[in-house]
């Protein structure tokens, strides 16, 4: 008797969950898709605004100091040739 009651309750709960998913899942997915397309549209607008015109020059960063190493010092490394 307890097993039959458990099975009936389980089947009812699964049926209710299935019905709720069938009603609410499409609206949830639609809202996710709308948000994704909106975000993609904003990114495309941003990219279009960021694209430079043909022949223009864009400088992202200009260093403040020319170099921390003086010009008198270079990349030369002393070495000894071993024979």
**DSSP per position, the chain:** -HHHHHHHHHHHHHHHHHHHHHHHHHHHHHHHHHHHHHHHHHHHHHHHHHSPPTT--------SSS-SS-TTS-S--------
Residue 66 lies in a domain: no
Residue 60 lies in a domain: no
Residue 34 lies in a domain: yes
| Range of the structural domain that residue 30 is part of | 8-47
With a pLDDT cut of 90, the percent of the chain lying above it is: 29
Residue 65 lies in a domain: no
pLDDT tens across 25-57, in order? Answer: 999 999 998 888 888 777 776 666 666 667 777
Residue 26 lies in a domain: yes
pLDDT number for residue 47: 66
* Tally of structural domains, the chain: 1
Residue 76 lies in a domain: no
**pTM to 2 decimal places:** 0.40
Calculate the average pLDDT of the chain.
80
Residue 30 lies in a domain: yes
Distance of alpha carbon 73 from alpha carbon 64, whole angstroms:
20
Question: Scanning the structure block, which residue is given the tokens 């549209």?
Answer: 41
With a pLDDT cut of 70, the percent of the chain lying above it is: 70
């Amino acid at each position: 008797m307890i097993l039959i009651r458990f099975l009936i309750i389980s089947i009812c709960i699964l049926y209710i969950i299935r019905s709720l998913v069938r009603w609410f899942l499409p609206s949830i997915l639609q809202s996710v898709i709308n948000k994704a397309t909106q975000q993609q549209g904003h990114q495309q607008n941003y990219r279009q605004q960021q694209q430079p015109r043909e022949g223009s020059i864009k400088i992202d960063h200009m260093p403040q100091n020319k170099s921390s190493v003086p010009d008198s010092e270079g990349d030369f490394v002393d070495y000894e040739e071993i024979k």
